[in-house]
Amino acid sequence: MGHPFPIREIARQAGLSEATVDRVLNGRGGVRENTAQEVRRAIADLDRQRTQVRLVGRTFMVDIVVQAPERFSTAVRAALEAELPSLHPAVVRSRFHFRETGPAAELVGTLDRIARRGSQGVILKAPDVPEVTAAVGRLTAAGIPVVTLVTDLPAGGRLGYVGSDNRAAGATAAYLMGQWLGDRPGNVLTSLSSGFFRNEEEREMGFRSVMRARHPERTLVEIAEGQGLDATQYDLVRAALERDPEIRAVYSIGGGNNATLRAFADLGRDCAVFIAHDLDHENTRLLREHRLSAVLHHDLRHDMREACHLVMRAHGALPPAGPVLPYAIQVVTPYNMPARPGE
């Protein structure tokens, strides 16, 4: 029965004599089974309390660095703030560094400033480009653990990744697309915010692979670099629709869905199936209005909780645990939407 506690401490916790605890721990016999169970419970209680003692009074300053449209950054902030009570007795204080788009050099500048100033952890959503990967390496070398959020940077020495299995998400979107389009003719528009986000690339790969295998007759029309922003997304979608009159469905990998729907409407075109990602405030509204067919959603609160736990483990404040596995996605329709707070 492995444990790090003195016999005297276990005996005090269990309310038993040290001699009895010694007999249980060393398997000498002469002890009833319920007494042995009390000793095992005492050790488990001490182990839990030891974790709490390590956390009491601990404050972790964590930097949240996100390149994404405002609607997603807002969801990240809300998810973290909703999880803060569950992290007690530890206190997590956060500094937010949000940007919708911009040159990689500016993002690298933010990460390097954090490295110079110091931090107990960085939670990062960023494009997978060499400059950013190198900056993550500098943070790691400075002793600052980095956890990638939603999209990974596996070459940068990050501590871990939290998010969904993006390739499986893309394959799920292809399955739904095939089921819902059925025998109706039409091409499918796939829309990425940028080709430099690994999660979007993996979603596209999963989608394309399943569509090629199950629906080889359908043409996939790809647009990218709209950054998930309505202004740029509208022009890209409208141009694609004007070039290809057979587009009848959309798999939106990178957002900008309101602009995409507006482009269809302005050209008098029908969108038979529209599958999107993330239940942010815009997609929630569009889904309630039945303007989206489904949203592939994963729990950002779970991601933020796991990211904070990874940072705490890196500082020895929580016991070691196995690797964080990708979180399963949920297919959300207008009829199974999660309740919002207060509903």
Strands 187-191 and 160-162: unpaired
Q: Start-end ranges of CATH 3.40.50.2300 in the chain? A: 53-162+300-325, 166-297
| pLDDT of the residue at 58 | 79
Q: What topology does CATH give the domain 53-162+300-325?
A: Rossmann fold (3.40.50)
- Cα–Cα distance for residue pair 8/17, rounded to 1 Å: 8
Tell me what pLDDT residue 311 has: 96
DSSP 290-338: T-SSEEEE--HHHHHHHHHHHHHHHTTSS----PPPPBPPEEE-TTSPP
Q: Tell how far CA 30 is from the center of its chain.
A: 52
Instruction: Please identify every stretch of the chain with a pLDDT value under 70, giving residue numbers as ranges.
Output: 1-4, 48-57, 340-343
Map tokens 């940077």 to a residue: 153
Q: Are 305 and 85 in contact (CB under 8 A)?
A: no
Out of 1.10.260.40, 3.40.50.1110, 3.30.360.10, 1.10.10.10, which CATH number does the structure's domain 1-47 have? 1.10.260.40
pLDDT number for residue 235? 95
Amino acid at residue number 136: V
| pLDDT score, position 56 | 63
Within the chain, strands assigned E span 59-67, 91-99, 121-125, 146-149, 160-162, 187-191, 220-223, 247-252, 273-277, 294-297, 330-332
pLDDT per residue as tens digits for the range 147-203: 999 999 998 899 999 999 999 999 999 999 999 999 999 999 999 998 889 999 999
| CATH 3.40.50.720 is right for the domain spanning 166-297 | no
The secondary structure element, H or E, covering residue 263 is: helix 257-266
Residue with tokens 């796939």: 190
Nearest to 277 by CA among 197, 187, 339: 197
On whether the CB atoms of residues 79 and 304 are closer than 8 A, the answer is yes
Which regions of the chain carry the CATH code 1.10.260.40?
1-47
Q: What is the pLDDT of residue 342?
A: 37
Say what the pLDDT of residue 43 is.
Answer: 84
CA-based angle 201:186:281, to the nearest 5? 50
